[in-house]
Structure 1
Amino acid sequence: MTSFRTPPAGAFPALRFPDWLELVEDRSAALRKAAETADGQARVPGCPDWTVRDLVAHVGQVQRFWAAAVAAGPASRPPDPDAVGDVTPSGELTAWSARSTALLLDALRAAGPDLECWTWWSASGSPATAGAVARHQVQEAAVHARDAQDAVGAPEPLLPALAVDALDEFLHIGFGSMDGWPHAPARVALVCEEGPAWTLILDATGASAIRVAPGGGPAPGASLTGPAEELLLALYRRVPYDGGTLRVSGDAELVRQLVVWSPLD
């Protein structure tokens, strides 16, 4: 696998379509590797209602859905179930999962990064393209691979460039697609130890993420600072936001409200 180095201080990683494809493949393989060492009925700490088998099946179903969405090209609706096909795992689960990943990657490669397709985030104004799907699927595979690793007690760190890119995608796509912020208007700063930082503007229209220089822009009501991996996992509610390597400054209740509001899939 390509070595994705930590970006220079303050810089965002220049990950592109080929990188996202490689990372989808790599993190999906990491998910399967962890699942192979686990009891299929073991519970997943990050998704306590799921077993490891449920987790692998979910990721495969998601990958098959997005393969059909990308293959359909420009569309105003998600793909029909007939286009997606049967998403019930059959045969040996890891082989079925590997085929799911291959279907997604084949569709993405055939489409190229700029082909438009249906996405659930199109109304946010963010790109609705095969490239955007590839970027989002890195996040999906990476977080769930970490879930599987947690289930077997062997979590591995995320590559810093992946974590920074996934965090940026999460703030712009995940939060950017949310309905109105249900509390008083506020600003929250997310600051990576690797350098990049964002201000998340929260108001009745929803959430808008702005990339800023650390310490730049209007003073936020609260800040959450730490490694990009921990910030991403905290927003996914996989690790505590107020412990470990993460540091809260300002209004801690505002950070709590943000974390419990964040969208999860």
Structure 2
Amino acid sequence: MTALTYDRYCDEILAQTDELRALLKGADPAARVPTCPDWSLRELAAHVGGAHRWVGEIVRSRATEDIPEERIPGYAGPDGEGPAALDAWLAEGADTAVAALREAGSGAEVWTWSWDRRTDFWVRRMTHETVVHRADAALAAGAVFEVAPEVAADTIDEWLRIVAFSQAGGDPEAAELRGGGRSLHLHATDVPDAEWLIEFGEEGFTWRRAHEKATVALRGPLTDLMLVFNRRLDPGSDRVEVLGDAELLDFWLERSSF
């Protein structure tokens, strides 16, 4: 499957934000988000818009260290309480972030919390931050969630890289994702070659695109695999199928989180 380009990521940040805004129109802003139970829909939207502004300011200023939230203009949310103010604020945050990312371009050096201190990390991270939280909003609003297969696949790829980074950085939960002789296979039933094999070793885990027998396999439509992997869909859902040692899949899901 073809990797997404820098420009495609920029386009996706805008498109995914527009779809999130569409979901919020007519929805109850006080509705709880089942996959983020501490948040209402409005608080979810504020998180996304704040993240866009934070990254936009990091990139715009070519920051060499983290920027505290209180120094980000407009970070806390819109001035008004109504849905129109929230909608405009979300659109402005995405537009500002993408404008900064496009102006900086691929390869520009900036602060990140990750293994990659370039704008390329942020443009990808903000794409998938927006995708996954749009899924949260869809679940809260009772709406259908769909995403392009190449975006869903890249969400899984990025998440594996983040979990591996967390493990290498000493995260206590991610550190437990080890132990030789076990493996996890993700198999999309609707997209050719959208498969992953995660293998647990004594020092950690590795992954590659492969179709091989594993200790446990998760099968289903690619978008649903992505949702399970991001803990947005229960693996017991009838939308996916778990074959083999289901406890190993649960073990992974319990220990792979931010």
| Aligned match of 2:199 | 201
1:112 equivalent to 2:105? Answer yes
1:221–1:250 CA contact under 8 A, matched in 2 = yes
1:121 counterpart residue number: 114
TM-score by length of structure 2 reads 0.86
Correspondence for 1:4: none
In structure 1, the partner of 2:148 is: 159
* Match in the other structure for 1:242: 236
- SS of 1:59 mapped into structure 2: helix
Q: How does 1:75-114 map to 2 (within 5 A)?
A: 75=64, 77-81=65-69, 83-89=71-77, 90-91=79-80, 92-114=85-107
Identity, % of aligned positions = 30
Runs of 4+ in 1 over 6 A off after TM superposition: none
Structure 1 residues 38-86: Cα deviation after superposition (integer angstroms, max 9, x where no partner): 11111112212211100100001111111122224362x3224465334
Q: Tell me the distance in 1 between the aligned counterparts of 2:226 and 2:165.
A: 15
Matched, 1:52 2:41: yes
RMSD of aligned C-alpha atoms? 2.1
* Structure 1: gaps spanning 5 or more residues: 1-11
| Cα contact 1:225–1:246 (8 A) shared by 2 | yes
Paired with 1:169 and 1:259, the residues of 2 have a C-alpha distance of: 15
In the alignment, structure 1 residue 141 sits paired with structure 2 residue 130: yes
TM (norm. structure 1) is 0.84
Any idea what SS the aligned residue of 2:199 has?
strand
Question: Counterpart of 1:24?
Answer: 13
Aligned partner of residue 209 in structure 2, secondary structure: strand
Aligned counterparts of 2:102 and 2:240: Cα–Cα separation in 1 = 37
**Partner Cα separation in structure 1 for residue 143 and residue 13 of structure 2:** 20
Q: Give CA-to-partner distance per residue, 1:195-252, whole Å, 9 cap, x none.
A: 222222334644432233x12xxx5322222222111111222111133232222211
Which structure would you say has the larger RCO, counting Cα contacts within 8 Å and 6 or more residues apart? 1
Corresponding residue number in structure 1 for 2:183: 187
CA distance in 2 between partners of 1:235 and 1:139 (Å): 13
